[in-house]
Structure 1
Amino acid sequence: MSQQVQGVIARAKDAPVELVPITIPDPGPHDVVVRVQACGVCHTDVTYRDGGINDEFPFLLGHEAAGIVETVGSEVGHVAVGDFVVLNWRAVCGECRACKRGRPWYCFDTFNASKSMTLADGTALTPALGIGAFAEKTLVHELQCTKVDPQADPAVAGLLGCGVMAGLGAAVNTGGVSLGDTVAVIGCGGVGDAAVMGARLAGASTIIAVDRDPKKLEWAKDLGATHTIDASSVDVVQAVQDLTGGFGADVVVEAVGRPETYEQAFYARDLAGTVVLVGVPTPDMRLDMPLVDFFSRGGALKSAWYGDCLPERDFPRYVDLHLQGRLPLDKFVTERIGLGDVEQAFAAVHEGTVLRSVVVL
């Protein structure tokens, strides 16, 4: 039978979010109902509310979530009732051209639930990133559920569902940071600081955090940065070169998503270095740089989408490392809040006063 729970929706562009009853249908053959235990507040949810993704209102917000599988469809074999899972928005299909070429992290046909969750009056909801987890329960495809060690704190494990994985993967998967590398991270919010943490995990010898906010630079130091640069007071490119023997960094992660910071990243790398863009630009942004500089510097220019992760490979690995005390994922949880506090948490995201607010149910 369908069931009614409380969920946080965005009804219209720029309107405050609302906590309302929503209806969870019976799962389809490959769908599961997950009882949400925790869900991080990500900037992407703010963008949904503000109409920056698309106009398919109303949205059921929330996507960085962990919880317990409660009900499964008739053909589900990937998870079972009672499993502790982190939700993901890259449930790879295994059949598209990216998957068949051995690059499933680029999957072009990821799975979502076969049915829509609705408002009480039957209006279909669009779940954020196909998840919609600012709710007591949510409906997803079975492959959107990744089993991890149930000893993990749901508020911590759930953050791998988006921002933390994006930053970690930008450094480890996309950037290929390795032992002894020099790394610079421009922009030290949640995603950038996760890249700092990933660079430390990979064995980088020098990790340079760049931001204009002293508080964010302190966060970065706590997560493994060996040096910090206040971008408001010095030339970033020169400062990175000064800290890397005059050469520039082997890998530069740009976690802001603006033309001026991307240009800094480009010139702050070594001649054969790698730039990874993980910050999300807006459609109107343009880059004007000499083409000859792209030709003459070599190296690689990459973009990281979800940190080029494979949830089934990466989520359990990072949860295990956290439980072993080798990956301080818990430091990203700035505050724990209730479902009714999401709008205030969005304000904190805009103000940059938190790494992550986490809704705990």
Structure 2
Amino acid sequence: MQQVQGVIARSKGAPVELVTINVPDPGPGEAVVKVQACGVCHTDLHYREGGINDDFPFLLGHEAAGVVEAVGPGVTDVAPGDFVILNWRAVCGDCRACNRGEPWYCFATFNATQKMTLEDGTELSPALGIGAFIEKTLVAAGQCTKVDPDARAAAVGLLGCGVMAGIGAAINTGNVTRGTSVAVIGCGGVGAAAVAGSALAGAGTIIAVDLDDRKLEGAKKLGATHTVNAGAGDVVEAIQALTGGFGADVVIEAVGRPETWKQAFYARDLAGTVVLVGVPTPDMKVPDIPLIDVFGRGGSLKSSWYGDCLPSRDFPMLVDLYRQGRLDLDAFVSEEIGIGDIEVAFEKMHHGDVLRSVVVL
């Protein structure tokens, strides 16, 4: 066992705390990873606010990259010294989804068996089964994806959640390809990544929609061909006007609200696709849309889970594209901060001042 410093949310809404944490030696199928960088994601704030569940205290942080320090018995895919991105989809290989050849939907993903604890023995709940606002974390070895060790940890670690969710929503879920017209509603970290993913796939028209002109400017740098300020008029009409009056082939909703999902529904072309990648709260309901419109417009209404990614397939590929200069992951890193600055980072994120603050250890 080791004792290291990490950041926890002790109770609902309370400021985060930097405390001493006990990290067990890795058991069968587990690995200890020395964390080099971890992004501050909105999901971490959801945990702190009790929006995920009530299993306090939480060890926050999950968008991370680092180096494997030790592995337990039976681990063969990674070894000490490997540079890895952590993921929260450790594919089981034997559930219904895996057995039908769709491991990116794995229904039985798993985490480390042992628990990290406070000094008094209180068990911690790691965010998304990772918990990476910490010097060293214990994870299931399947949560470690080996990538190019020359990549910048602060940038590629963001593939562990938000950036992968956005890129995957475009490429994996939305099937965006050459010449596709795309609209992305909401251009925070995930939406901006959906813009970048659409550009990477060769989309012809990429329309970024947001209320914040700063985010729209950022989306243009990542590949948006047009921008729409949602406060300046009817979003559906604006998207239709930019697509020959028809609507976009694919509309990606990256906010997670009924009103923006309804905009996405009507802003797509006939037989077009809506992708919901923004995470709604449990109290939100599908908006009141006539069933004849669902039938008459055809196409697909999809949810994107983690960008429908397969970490072993997608992470190395995207890191290679980053290393080649074809995917600007550095653009998502608004600032690098210390492990004691997370509460301030939450405030900046809440006010839309950053795409990502990244804790560098």
User: 3-state SS of the aligned residue for 1:326?
Assistant: coil
Which stretch has the larger CA shift, 96-105 or 42-51? 96-105
Q: Partner of 2:232: helix, strand, or coil?
A: coil
CA deviation profile, 1:104-136 (whole Å, cap 9, x unmatched) = 111111121110000011100000000000000
Q: 2 CA distance for matches of 1:284 and 1:67?
A: 37
SS of the aligned residue for 2:302 comes to: strand
Give the AA of the match of 1:5. V
Are 2:333 and 1:333 aligned? yes
Q: Which amino acid aligns with 1:349?
A: M
The aligned amino acid for 1:297 is R
Note the C-alpha offset of 1:75: 1.5
Pair 1:4 & 2:3 matched: yes
Matched residue type, 1:48: Y
The letter for the 1-side match of 2:41 is C
- SS of residue matched to 1:346: helix
* Cα deviation, residue 32, structure 1: 0.6
Deviations 1:215-240 (A, max 9, x none): 01001001000000010011111111
How far the C-alpha of 1:307 sits from its partner, in A, is 0.1
State the Cα deviation string for residues 277-309 of structure 1 (Å, max 9, x = none). Answer: 000111111221111100000010000010000
TM-score where L is the length of structure 2: 0.99
1:290 matched residue in structure 2: 290
Q: How far does the alpha carbon of each residue in 1:169-207 deviate from its partner, in whole angstroms, 9 at most, with x for none?
A: 000000000100100000000000000000000000100
- Counterpart secondary structure, 1:232: helix
Aligned to 1:309: 309
Structure 2 counterpart of 1:349: 349
Deviation at 1:74, TM superposition (A): 1.9
For 1:186 and 1:143, how far apart are their aligned partners in 2?
33
Give the TM-score, by structure 1 length. 0.99
CA distance in 2, matches of 1:29, 1:289: 50
Separation of aligned partners in 1, 2:45 and 2:28: 32
Q: Write out aligned runs for 1:184-223 (5 A).
A: 184-223=183-222
1:35 alignment counterpart: 34
Counterpart of 1:266?
265
SS at match of 2:76: coil
Q: Distance in 1 between matches of 2:168 and 2:218?
A: 19
Q: CA deviation at 1:78?
A: 1.1
SS in structure 2 opposite 1:29?
coil
The answer for the alignment partner of 1:321 in structure 2 is: 321
Task: Give the 5 Å matches for 1:1-361.
Answer: 2-286=1-285, 287-361=287-361
Deviations 1:17-69 (A, max 9, x none): 00000000111111110000000000000000000000000000000000000
State how far apart, in whole Å, the 2-side matches of 1:29 and 1:345 are. Answer: 36
Q: Which runs of 4+ in 1 moved over 6 A?
A: none
Equivalent AA in structure 1 for residue 51 of structure 2? G
Question: How large is the Cα RMSD of the aligned pairs?
Answer: 0.5
Partners of 2:74 and 2:118 in 1: CA distance: 27
1:296-330: per-residue Cα shift (whole Å, max 9, x none)?
00010000010000000000000000000000011
Q: Provide the rounded CA distance (Å) in 1 between the counterparts of 2:213 and 2:281.
A: 26
Structure 2: runs of 5 or more not aligned = none
Letter of the aligned partner of 2:10 in structure 1? Answer: R
Residue identity matched to 2:331? K
Query: Amino acid of the residue matched to residue 315 of structure 1?
Result: F
Provide the rounded CA distance (Å) in 1 between the counterparts of 2:160 and 2:132: 11
Where 2:34 maps in the other structure, the secondary structure is strand
Amino acid at match of 2:140: H
C-alpha distance in structure 1 between counterparts of 2:73 and 2:212, whole Å: 51
**2:53 is aligned with what amino acid?**
N
Q: Distance in 2 between matches of 1:72 and 1:104?
A: 24
**Aligned residues between the structures:** 360
